[in-house]
A and B are shown apart, each in its own frame.
Chain A
Amino acid sequence: MNHPFDRQDVDVAWCPGCGNFGILQLIKEVLDELQADRRSTVIVSGIGQAAKTPYYIDVNMFGVLHGRALPVATALKAANPELMVIAEGGDGDMYGEGGNHFLHAIRRNVDIVHIVHNNMVYGLTKGQASPTSQKGFTTKVQVDGVGSEPFNPLAVALALKAGFVSRVNIGNAVHAKEVLKAAFLHPGYSLVDIFQPCVTFNKTNTYQWFKENTYVLDGSYDPTDIGAAMNKALETASMPLGILYRNISSTFEQRIRRGATEPLYSIKHDTAQIQGLFEGY
């Protein structure tokens, strides 16, 4: 069935049953339901299976390098604050190769939606451990099982006081959609970590596993209490899904552009003013 945000004539490169299909559908539905303007929407993505998503969505796209979607998206938003900017990629892309950018995109509070497909494995490079792989996960490289502590994106984001910290499970698409919508509407940096089963290379963290090891935060949960959010983020036996924290503060593009929103392509400098300055030397 055709969706208004389908890109035509593309050859989808995912394995049948992959969680990425659900995420693709989810994003298209959210764009549709929020009536996104396709020419004002840009998805910046890195490299990986997850990062292929924008090639299948009919909006503007900048496919960059492994780990580098965030700095590109950050500057893009500042250069034209009137665009709806999304940065998308996998857990290896965003938390591994792009880890430093992750920290600083949060600090800047740039108004982008940061979608991370968290399958706890490197899909594209055929099954090595990712920063979020669970301890003991064995691969062709981690032959004795992963020994390092898994990266906890939510706790890291909270430690940096990210404006919007959330996690969803693509196995629970109804819930995931509501959270993603809220992320799109949040003014500022919004992290949506999506549990995404990789059916080919991760036989541990399956649809079933994600279902059994997560629970949805209930209505009484207060997402404005950062302390409570941190406690939630640190839960590992059963992991909470939903919006852990939100908080609105000034955004990067507002600060760096001193409140202006017109795109930089329409800005030119006044040569008379430059001349005047030069004469002062």
Chain B
Amino acid sequence: MTLNELKRYNGRNGMSAYVAYKGTVYDVTQSPFWKEGNHQGQHNAGADLTIMMAGAPHGDEVFAKMPVVATLEEEPLLQQSDASAATPLKERLQIWYKKYHPHPMTVHFPIALHMFSAGLDLFFLASPKVPYAVGVFYTFFVATVMGFVAMIAGVLSWWINYNLSTRRPFVVKLIVATLTLLLGVVGIALYLENPGIVYEASLEGITYHAIILFTGMSVIVLGYYGGKITWGDLSQYDTKTVVSETEEPLSAAAGKLPAAGTYEVPFSSAATMAPVKEVRYEVKEGGIGRPNTISILIGGAAGAGIDTLENLLCDAFKRSGYYLFSTKEYMSRVRGGSNTVLIRISDTPLEAPCWEVDLFIAMDALALEHAKERCTSKTIIVADQTFAQMETNSRAIPMKETAQKLGNVHYANTYVAGVAFGLLGIEPQPLIQSVAEHFKEDTANAAAVNEGCQAGGKLERSTLPALPKADRERSEKLHLMDGTTASGFGFLSGGCNFVASYPMSPSTGVLNFMASMSKQFTIAVEQSEDEIASLHMVLGAWYAGARALTTTSGGGFALMGEALSLSGMTETPAVIYLAQRPGPATGLPTRSEQGDLNLALHSGHGPFPRLILAPGSLRECIDLGYLAFELADRYQLPVIILSDQYLADSIAMIGDVDFSAYEQRRYIVRTDKEYRRYADTQEGISPRGVPGFGEGLVCADGHEHDERGQITEDYRKRIQMASKRARKETGLIAQAVAPYTYGEGSIAVIGWGSTRGAIAEALQQLDDPRLVQIHFAWVHPLNPEHLLFLKKYTHVIVVENNADGAFADRLQHYGIVVESRVLQYNGFSFFADQLSAMISERIKELS
């Protein structure tokens, strides 16, 4: 019977109860100690109990009374290797050994006898009498014989208990024991050869006595090391051993544990201090009315250099004096990894993509096919002469040929940049400068630009819109960056000095940014083992007084729910940058959606206040990044920044930012002896101490706790603490940033987060005086007073880049009637032109 077969005989459901012990299977069905196949509530039938018997209060005699039914065989299909097959034998031996201790049992005989024999021999040497001589020999004889037995038991123990260890005590014992046994044999042989030698001073005689005396001592060595092996050496951890490790005796080590020094907290501030200078939404620059723009789409395979082309063109357009916006994306219907970059130039600020483009540059045939949908009859399509199509708006250029002529396929990129400038009729000097700075040594790129410009200049361009007005002075004052970088600047100005994250698109850019900043600023950056660890690290760092951040996307944030709740309970601040992408699960990893608002709102068990901010422009990325740290610290709660792939990856322009305005505060108090971490206060904010700063102890606890931070189950304290935590939200709401509104009409078009730019441009395009843009960047908790004005609109349309209309639900929760929801969840953020069409559709329905 094998173990597997044995399992069925568990004594339940009418089965017999069998157990195995040392290879034999016994039937215990009838045993009164095995009711229902269970023994003393501890052991179950159907199992091999050999190992368990070691811990049993009784011996194996109990099995003698049980009928034997089979022998236990190896599992046929689980033939183990020799090594593992040997283990059960070893384990069985170990158990047997533990029971009988053969070595200690037998080893005392040779030790005692050898010592006795040597002692007696000393008497003999003092007065050589026959009985002494005979006594010495026979004791010696028995000692040697027993020595063999002890040695065999000892070697067995060495193998099964000590894995044939070659540590010193074992080696010494092996050598000395072998020597003792050999000498024993020699001594016996000498005596048997001629017992008379014991009285002689001959070589044999002297050797004989020497052996007797030597073995009398060698067994002492054996005994000493045996004891050492069995009982260990407690003194090993005394000062001597630890000295070698710590380089000083333990007594001197006292007081050598880390101890906090004395530091100052910069800008230490009380939570009662006035709020930081109110964060205002920047007022839209530029004029009202339709902007004058030209949109250029470039399509090509990943890795073929369209990223370089994007950087070059953005830089060159900025130098040329245009406002610009650029966004990359990976089209969902595209197979084969064809990516696009959209670059828009304008005479007014813009922060939104458009679907239809004026100029399309296809770097390969695949791109041509995939981006066709975004071309109208007016779009000029520039493609290499080898794959350009014969349509009226197609323009064939010698892209590949020129690159080959110049010596490298990569010159196609700079050549194409030149073509764009030539075709648009923009003066090429800024582009030549950008290329020179970008490629430094590689001057062939300049030649490529020139050739491109000339070729582009010759192309037919009558369908293109008029070139927007450039203003170099204006654009020189502007800064070009993506949302990721802007968020990074926000966190930096918020004093972020600790980051723990697990990489996840599209949030990783901020992690990269902060890591690169750690070379110039004091920022500890760690890639954690998972998102669970990320947020817990952030909490550990804040507890010690750091300003810590974690970056993630929806899937990672889902893993943080537990720690978010811990932040709420322990009132440990936390800042979480959550860059959304479409879910559920892995969803569309490289695309965009605002699908995680409900997750951010409800994540974490148990109610606790939290703050959710959703920037909608570069400026808001910076302002809210700063504000996140300021408010997390002040209100001691988690702050979630909701960004998304679109906002993180899009490049736009931002005006001057005065970073000295971001006052760096620390809401940390120096503790005194009586410090209580959760002291109850009117606003619910307990002054926050950090360990090592002041005289008090800082006890934070995830259980319900009393004011000291000590675990409690007292219902009155529970109510007191839960109310204290909840009160913090009141103060927070009072600081809420009111929504941004633009326009005077009667129809509200409401958005939140990254839709700000697209809604603004859509309304500009519609140019309908009834439409008002309302943008929320402070998403939760909303201030009801800020919502009152919404009641005056005849219609409310909510625009969201998701499928559930989570923010519209939020507004309805506050009593706002939402008539219409414009929802998009195809993986794209809103395109301004498409959005304006959607809104005008809704207006028609409403009126």
Contacts and interface: CB of A to CB of B under 8 A. Distances in A.
Given A34-B257, A138-B44, A219 B521 contact: no
Given A40-B258, A185-B256, A242 B236 contact: yes
Interface stretch (B446-454, B491-499, B749-757, B798-806): B491-499
B161 A238 contact: yes
B360 interface: no
Interface string A20-56: 0000000000000111111111101001000010010
A136 B522 contact: no
Contacts of A267: 266, 495, 497, 522
Contact of B544 (A9, A79, A231): A79
A18 interface: no
Given A75-B541, A220-B233, A265 B546 contact: yes
Contact of A63 (B253, B544, B546, B701): B701
B178 interface: no
Give the interface size class of chain A. 35 or more
Contact of A274 (B255, B261, B492): B492
Interface stretch (B343-351, B393-401, B423-431, B662-670): B662-670
Contacts of B167: 220-222, 228
A273 interface: yes
Contacts of A182: 237, 242, 245-246
Interface in A253-274: 256-257, 260, 262-274
Contact of B537 (A59, A72, A278): A72
A182 to B, nearest CB: 5
Interface in B134-176: 160-161, 163, 165, 167-169
A81 B666 CA distance: 19
Interface in A124-160: 135-136, 138, 143-145
Interface string B811-837: 000000000000000000000000000
A61 interface: yes
A238 B235 CA distance: 21
B97 to A, nearest CB: 8
A219 B55 contact: no
Chain B interface, >50% SS class = mixed
A84 interface: yes
A275 interface: yes
Nearest to B700: A62
A71 B263 contact: no
Contact of A138 (B41, B165, B236): B41
A54 B238 CA distance: 27
A3 interface: no
Contact of B541 (A79, A81, A268): A79
B233 A263 contact: no
Given A71-B540, A185-B253, 11 more contacts: A34-B256, A40-B259, A75-B548, A100-B533, A103-B529, A175-B234, A216-B234, A218-B232, A237-B94, A265-B693, A268-B495
Interface of A: 7, 9-10, 33-42, 44, 47, 52, 55, 58-65, 68, 71-76, 78-84, 100-101, 103-104, 135-136, 138, 143-145, 174-175, 178-179, 181-182, 184-186, 203-204, 209, 212, 215-222, 228, 231, 234-235, 237-238, 241-243, 246, 256-257, 260, 262-275, 277-279, 281
27 contacts: A37-B259, A40-B257, A62-B700, A65-B563, A68-B532, A71-B529, A75-B546, A76-B540, A79-B524, A79-B544, A81-B258, A82-B261, A84-B259, A104-B529, A145-B43, A179-B237, A181-B253, A185-B257, A216-B232, A219-B236, A265-B693, A266-B265, A268-B495, A271-B493, A273-B520, A273-B521, A274-B492
